[in-house]
Amino acid sequence: MLRTKRLGPTQYVALGFMSVILIGSVLLALPIAHMPGTYVSYIDALFISTSAVTVTGLISIETAEQFNAFGRLVIALLIQIGGLGVTSVGAIFILVMQRKFGVYHRLLLMEGLNFNSLSGVVRLVKSVLQLTLVIELVGMILSFFTFIQHYPFWEALGISAFHAIASFNNAGFDILGGGQNLIPYRHHYVLLLTTATLIGLGGIGFVTMLDIYHKRNFKKCSMNTKIVMVTTASLLIIGTILLKLSEGFSWFDAFFHSISARTAGFSTIPIDDFSQAGLLILMVLMFIGASPGSTGGGIKTTTLFTIIKTIKSFATNRPVTAFYRRIPAESIIKAFSVFLLAISVVFVGTFFILLIQPELSLQSILFEVIAATGTVGLSTGIIPSLNIANKLILCIIMFIGRLGPFSIACLWAYQTAAPRFNYPEEQITIG
């Protein structure tokens, strides 16, 4: 009898995401999901499904104008599954069925939630679910007070629920139609502050939120939590100042785009109105992204922090430390690997899209590719003009961005067993 090799946790997570994307694409391609008199091709349905599951927010067709209530419900569910993680959703079903978790199930949850311990991972899933429901419910209620001023009750309620899910899961989907995003609500500060708060909470990661909740003291928090909070705050402040200087927007507009660009993709100002300097800042923020274990993409805040600390340590000939703790060599190697892999994804993706459609602008394609890599919904508006091949390329990039370039690289290359022998070491010249 043939014995099949058991898939690793990373492979199962990737397969789970891929399965949900394909199921979602079939549902969104069905006529029952479309507005009367509209047609959605399968490639566009696949693109929207990929964008929803990877919590990106990039769209090839107008969501509000092409999909009816059922279609929007499917998109909202895909966003929720993508934000929580396929393994977490599966774990919730197992809990509902009152089945026990084996070691392998716990390994899957560790991979899906980016958690580093088998102990307490099931309890973590329960906390994540409760936290998600509470935050999204509060966000929906607060958003409803704004949308009820412009829509009938039930439509306002549906938009509020969709917006809360999209915001907390950092999906940045436009449900208002006409490519408006949040531009009509530029001066509705309650809605924008609610949105920014939901984005921020979803972007720092579930483990970080729970650590802050339980410790309630910065000094008592783990080093990972401290790094996430310090780096997030620094990026928010620096991004706000740079956008204010480059664009001349109000401080609030600069603040909103500084937090939204890193993870979500909501916008109160058309992207076309940004200067070249402003677009560069947005691309850098999108590339960095959110924090580990969050609903956002990018290389992550901890990766950026580790790289900066490592460069500083080499320059000063000191150990790589943070908050009176030494950063392990394994984390340093992984940080630089993630950075280089992400750069490679951006370069290769941009190259092939331009190769297939050379009439497109380098700046626009680079912006879209970085947005897809960082799973951010900001766009220059050129996606509908892309051909099938390039839409598929962006789908692949969004998939890589959600799982992480390092996880993708490890799907087939990673070896659990130690090498049978070691090679001798020899110095090389660097720099």
For residue 326, list its beta bridge partners. Answer: 321
pLDDT in tens, 181-197: 888 898 899 999 999 99
pLDDT in tens, 326-343: 999 989 999 999 999 999
pLDDT at residue 51 in the model: 94
Flag whether pLDDT at 84 surpasses 50: yes
Q: What is the pTM of this model?
A: 0.88
Higher-confidence residue of 317 and 88: namely 317
pLDDT at residue 2 in the model: 42
pLDDT at residue 400 in the model: 92
pLDDT in tens, 86-134: 556 655 555 555 556 555 556 555 555 555 555 566 677 777 788 888 9
Flag whether pLDDT at 80 surpasses 70: yes
